[in-house]
Chain A
């Protein structure tokens, strides 16, 4: 499709710059909140920033972050994937079962298996949603139940213990490289890859277009069906990867792994500035949101605050985040309109 090159007029450039600045402000906001929280907790108890503590914090955030990255890709297109918790559980159990059957399996192969497994679940989701054009909330609610049911059926009351897993795999779960856990490096790699793709590739940017206005996107030639399908495959694959990493970190796997994770992931994504109605937000923000939520969980007991406040704190944060987003987008929208009016 050819596009006539029109010189961007002054108003649009200023508009884009404003939008980009709002974007940065949002991510910066979470980062600042995170830093403040860490500093305050450190002041109360310096052990909060000991090597072990930081390692635990990063490890705790890793799995949530990976799930959040996948969820962001889906939410940007104005969809949602509620089945990620069940996919994680299935993948984790598959990891354990495979290792039980063939303990000599090399770890990279296991990771690929996890990714493929999750991608297969994502294909089911994406296929139903894109092909049959049905609302994602309903379908992924359904697959949440179906995948969890399959997990129970497979696990049938069993539990895979750490003793049944290869030592090398479990060690990867706690090993560090220069103080940074190996698992976190996985998350960083995923973050960089997906972040780069969303910002610099046309198909990545098209996801934003689909979320902003699906009808317009379709009319302008974007293959929305295929893009949405791909988004769900990515979300599923990343949930599969998260499952493998969960198995490495916790070692004990039963049929309840991942139960309820989906709401935490949506919370992290919303707190991270990704609009629930699609069209805006970034994976960097989502990861920051995941880190912030995990840090709150770790900081509350250290601060001596009743850990029962944790859930309430998360809820309040979500409300604050979406309120802030709405205020910000209203401000940006108003500014853009004013500028247009002046031109």
Chain B
């Protein structure tokens, strides 16, 4: 095997590249075959839908890389929505105040998670399942079954306003900026490298001086704050604060993170892969809906992709192992590539 082909294979074989290429392919194929995909309105709706999910997926990626998980994000979003609505109803009319309170609330909710997980040493899967129920329940306690929808049109209009000259909402810039920050931290700082170390072997990481517990605690706080930000956007985009806002979103985010190449055991994955996977899933869903493909087909595709994303590499790895073993026990051993 020549050096060039081997290099090509490594380049193309990298997971996040595969995902990004898939997005591009689908976008191109979609715009050629499905009526409306090339229309800028399509991309507007795709972006609007993707923004809250991106906001939540950014810290989720970091958390999963450290070997933990946060399933309470959708409930934090819901609780933030209801508190936002409740405060607005009760007479708080300053938007900056509402946003600040929401972010603080989200951070506090995340801190509770962090306390249980890093302070008491409890498993994050179980803790966040508990807070998933707790926070969603509190959301129902705050607003009951009602909805608060009387926000000023300027707020709701501005939330989804498009960038001048385009149809893309300006919030995407906020999401993009945050993505750059998270990406830089993860891939270009010692803190980020520490996260990978934690995911691979928490004990060893602790011995190299990394503050494992403190870092994980702050990750959960940030996760809560970002979910709260997504909640504010959600409320203003739909002009409706309800206790069931965002129900089920956590599974979609986790699916995207896993599909993006992040290992559930921690220690591996890139932010780019996750963003690519998110783009893939959102574009795919909207394109298929436009083509009148029933929604459950996408459900099946998402599930199959998820399974394939972990089974594929594993099976490929096992086959490669078997081939390598057979080759190495062959009488004429050629220098392996």
- Chain A interface residues (CB < 8 Å from chain B): 80, 128, 132-135, 137-139, 141-153, 260, 263, 266-267, 270, 276-277, 306, 308-319, 322-323, 326
Contacts and interface: CB of A to CB of B under 8 A. Distances in A.
Nearest to B69: A137
Contact of A139 (B125, B294, B310): B310
A136 to B, nearest CB: 9
B317 to A, nearest CB: 9
26 contacts: A80-B125, A132-B310, A132-B314, A134-B311, A135-B264, A137-B125, A138-B310, A141-B258, A142-B255, A142-B305, A142-B307, A144-B303, A145-B300, A145-B306, A148-B296, A263-B132, A267-B130, A308-B141, A308-B243, A309-B141, A310-B137, A311-B136, A315-B130, A315-B133, A319-B127, A326-B121
Tell me which of B130, B135, B298, B310 has the highest count of chain A C-beta atoms within 10 A of its own C-beta. Answer: B130
Contacts of A80: 125
A149 B305 CA distance: 13
Contact of B140 (A270, A276, A308, A316): A308
Interface string B252-288: 0011001000001100000000000000000000000
Contacts of B140: 308, 311-312
A312 B141 contact: yes
B303 A145 contact: yes
Contacts of A309: 137, 141
A310 B131 CA distance: 13
Contacts of B130: 267, 270, 315-319, 322
Nearest to A83: B303
Contact of B303 (A149, A153, A308, A323): A149
Given A138-B258, A139-B311, A308-B144, A318 B299 contact: no
Contacts of A313: 137
Contacts of A319: 116, 127, 130-131, 134
Main secondary structure of the interface of B (DSSP, over half): helix
Contact of B255 (A145, A260, A316): A145
B303 A312 contact: no
A168 B26 CA distance: 52
Interface of B: 116, 120-123, 125-127, 129-138, 140-141, 144, 243, 248, 251, 254-255, 258, 264-265, 294-300, 302-307, 309-311, 314-315, 318
B254 to A, nearest CB: 7
A267 B136 CA distance: 14
B131 A152 contact: no
Nearest to B144: A308
A79 to B, nearest CB: 12
Nearest to B134: A315
A263 B75 CA distance: 13
A163 to B, nearest CB: 26
Contacts of A151: 296
Given A153-B296, A316-B134, 19 more contacts: A132-B311, A132-B314, A133-B314, A141-B258, A145-B303, A149-B303, A151-B296, A152-B296, A153-B300, A270-B130, A277-B123, A311-B136, A311-B137, A312-B137, A315-B137, A318-B134, A319-B116, A322-B130, A323-B116
B60 to A, nearest CB: 14
A260 B297 CA distance: 19
B311 A314 contact: no
A312 B133 contact: yes
A146 B303 contact: yes
Contacts of A316: 130, 134
Given A153-B296, A313-B137, A276 B132 contact: no
A47 to B, nearest CB: 25
A146 B304 contact: yes
A166 B298 CA distance: 35
A306 B127 contact: no
Contacts of A128: 307, 311
Contact of A134 (B135, B138, B300, B314): B314
A311 B133 contact: yes
B315 A149 contact: no
A263 B138 contact: no
Contacts of B138: 312
B314 A270 contact: no
A132 B321 CA distance: 13
B299 A145 contact: yes
Contacts of A149: 296-300, 303
Contacts of B310: 132, 134-135, 138-139
A142 B306 contact: yes
A145 B306 CA distance: 9
A264 B24 CA distance: 39
A277 B121 CA distance: 13
A131 to B, nearest CB: 8
Given A152-B296, A263-B132, A323-B116, A138 B306 contact: yes
